[in-house]
Structure 1
Amino acid sequence: MSASHRRTVIGGALAITLGLTGVACGDSDEGTPANGLEKSDITLGTMTVADTTPVQIAIDKGLFKAEGLDVKTQVIQGGAAGIPLLKSGRLDFSFGNYVSLFTAGVKDPGFKPKIVAEGFQSASKTHTLMVRKDSPYRTVQDLKGKKIGVNTRRNISTLLVRAAAKPVNVEFDEDENFVEIPPPNMEQSLKSESVEAVQAIEPFGTQMEQSMGARMVADLSSGPTADFPIAGYAATEKFIKENPKTTAAFQRALQKAQGMAADRKLVQDTLPTFAKGIDSKVASTMSYGTFPTTLSATRLQRVADLMHEFAYVEKEIDVKQFIADSAA
């Protein structure tokens, strides 16, 4: 064989080899990523609050990347805001409070949310009822009939307030007593006296205490709602069925980050890096809840039972129907 003929044969073989390599390692006709996941580019709905710090930890530490995921975050105002985005497919996963997820799952036959991981559980002073420094109101009873700012009506915010008020025989009406205010705007609402109190989540409670001397009249993370499950991460049933490997990869990365969040120093150092307006002083003095690394149906059933007690839903809910099989 001549030298020129050998070069032709080798060149042809190399071209075939490269072509086969492209088929083996590149995307398939269906668009399956090379890493074996059904989908690598993920959009996650999240909030700029302490509750979602593990998401930022997972990004910073490369935990999502290690699982083959490229996670893009989209800030949402609350769990209820994430639901239409999940339904439409604009979000693949979303952080959201359980009240929003359970309510939508029960009342909207076209929406089947599945919780893939728990996100946040309350602890002392993570959820409080706060008033102005010079306010005459000092107890939940004093606020009977008054306007209270909450993130969203008929949701976790109002449920916590009503649960705290029931033992002292005070009832609040969802429409007459609660005013929807985004958490970052609650301080101004107190200052302007458009409301008499606000249901504050951290770090906004600590911020208001330090900046305007706001006072706590009730710790909503105590008594019947002590160590209360607040929020988790969910996807639609359809997404999970179509993307089981992607879902499992997301769960593994997040579970590692949730475990790392047991280190308070790591959480307080991470929070100011993604939560606008939260400085190191607030982060170091605010109250923190816990970040569960397992998903417990028994724990989440507490939320469903309280929702039924206060007529957020007509019938009792078995939360197992809202838990992804891979998370059970």
Structure 2
Amino acid sequence: MTRRVRRTAIRGIALVALLATVASCSALGGKEQAPATNSNSNSSSGPVEKSKITLGVIPVVDTASVYIAQKKGYFKEQGLEVELKTIQGGAAGIQLVVGGELDFTFGNWVSFIAAQAKDNAKNVDGLKLIADGYQAKPDMFLILADGGSAIKSAKDLAGKTIAINTFNNIAELTAKATLEAANVDVSTVKFKEMAFPDMQAAVQNKTVDAAFMVEPFITRAQRAAGQIKVLDAASGPTDNIPIAGYGTSGKFAKENPKTVAAFQRAMAKGQADAADRPTVEPLIVEYAKVDKETAGLVHFGAFPTTLDATRLQRVVELMKTYKMLPKDIDVKSMIIQPSGS
């Protein structure tokens, strides 16, 4: 046997042995080693189906992570060009998603859950929750009254009119829960709908008796108009309550899974960065149109980086208590978790 023939025979024997080893592993339930792949290599990675997307936002502290992701290029890194459109509240944003005018929207969890329970998004395969946004902490969800009025505590709100940004949302839910905890008959309280930027003036000119505000409007009303805290709506039964996040339609999610996954990755970075106050303060000045001093005084909530079904189910239970749900909802079925989580 020549040297060349001998080498060929040895290589053939080695190949047979390798194939036999692989077959043996397979028979025993083992796996052959897969080639190394990119950590993002999955069904939701790769070029997005829709690179230009529209996102509904409210110019409040709650949405700071969006502006961070935009400014730091996190959306761009994921192949997304995001057009931001201002909405008055979650319910309005959801209507625009259902109507196809928005691809994604920020909104309070109450509005998302209520719309799903009422089948308002049935023609677009329901609503899907894709990223958490904001969770309550003390003094960032307040009912304020004029400093010169007779309203000094929660009990003084009985029979009064309170401004909220939209009906049947997280503001109304938490207001009712905390008013009741303070022994106020909520059936005597009237809620009046108006945008957050209009509330300070409405309290001053007595269009309403009090207003349910969020930051930075709370701090601005306290500093500029001497308005006072009457009730912390994120206390007692609503302590640490999940407030809001981001969603889309089931139809959009089904047709654009890579776009949704890209949005989730960008938002996860934005949410993580939003925990750093020095990063957020200058952005508030820019997008919420408040002065630097006010931005430095606002009270922040928490910016969760993951969607937790158990935490969100707490909102469902409160909604059931205050008859804000026509039927029960398992919020877990609405959530699209980021790939790999």
TM-score tier (shorter): 0.7 to 0.9
The one-letter amino acid of 1:38's match is E
* Distance in structure 1 (CA, Å) of the matches to 2:270 and 2:304: 10
1:97 lines up with 2:108 in the alignment: yes
State how far apart, in whole Å, the 2-side matches of 1:253 and 1:267 are.
16
Q: Which residue of 1 aligns with 2:286?
A: 273
Structure 1 residues 155-170: aligned runs within 5 Å: 155-170=169-184
The answer as to whether partners of 2:117 and 2:327 remain within 8 angstroms in 1 is no
Deviation at 1:303, TM superposition (A): 0.7
Counterpart Cα distance in 2 of 1:326 and 1:63: 16
Give me the whole-angstrom Cα distance separating, in 2, the residues matched to 1:173 and 1:326.
41
Distance 1:316 1:171, change over 3 A: farther
Q: 1:319 aligns with which of 304, 328, 331?
A: 331
What is the CA deviation profile of residues 93-112 of structure 1, one whole-angstrom value per residue up to 9, with x for unaligned ones? 10000111111111023351
Q: Secondary structure at the match of 2:240?
A: coil
Aligned to 1:126: 140
Taking the aligned partners of 1:60 and 1:195, their CA distance within structure 2 comes to 37
Q: Does 1:204 align with 2:193?
A: no
Q: Runs of 5+ in structure 1 lacking a partner?
A: 1-34
Q: Which residue of 2 aligns with 1:180?
A: 193
Distance apart, 1:184 and its partner CA: 0.5
Q: Which whole-Å CA distance do the structure 2 matches of 1:233 and 1:245 have between them?
A: 16
Deviation at 1:325, TM superposition (A): 4.5
Deviation of 1:326 after TM superposition, in Å, equals 3.7
For 1:87, the equivalent position in structure 2 comes to 98
Of 233, 250, 253, 1:237 maps to: 250
Partner residue, 2:58: 47
1:214 aligns with: 227
Task: Give secondary structure in 2 for the equivalent of 1:158.
Answer: helix
Is residue 36 from structure 1 mapped to residue 50 from structure 2 by the alignment? Answer: no
Contact kept? 2:117, 2:328, Cα under 8 Å:
no
Match 1:250 to one of 258, 263, 281: 263
Are 2:74 and 1:63 aligned? yes
- Determine if contact 2:180/2:186 at 8 Å carries over to the other structure: no
Among 141, 158, 171, the alignment partner of 1:144 is 158
Secondary structure at 2:234 match in 1: coil
Partner of 1:78: 89
Paired with 2:128 and 2:338, the residues of 1 have a C-alpha distance of 10
Deviation string, structure 1 residues 273-304 (Cα, Å, up to 9, x no partner):
1122x111111001000110011001111111
Q: Are 1:305 and 2:317 counterparts?
A: yes
Task: Answer yes or no: is 1:289 the counterpart of 2:310.
Answer: no
Residues 166-196 of structure 1 deviation map (CA, whole Å, 9 limit, x = unaligned):
123323249x611112110111111111211
Identical-pair percentage: 43
Residue identity matched to 1:195: V
Whether the 8 Å contact between 1:305 and 1:317 is mirrored in structure 2 is: no
Name whichever of 147-156 and 291-300 sits farther off. Answer: 147-156
After superposition, the C-alpha distances for 1:250-283 in whole angstroms (9 at most, x for unaligned) are 100100110011101111122111122x111111
CA 1:63–1:325 in structure 2 vs 1: closer, same or farther (change >3 Å)? closer
1:3 is aligned to: none
Give the match's secondary structure for 2:88: coil
Deviates more, 1:127-136 or 1:176-185: 176-185
- SS of the aligned residue for 1:110 comes to helix
Q: What whole-Å deviation, never above 9, does each CA across 1:107-160 have from its counterpart, x for those lacking one?
A: 023351100000011111110011101111111111101111111122111111
- Report the Cα distance in structure 2 between the residues aligned to 1:249 and 1:155, rounded to whole angstroms: 28
2:117 to 102, 106, 109: 106
| DSSP 3-state at the match of 1:153 | coil
Q: Report how many aligned residue pairs link the two structures.
A: 292
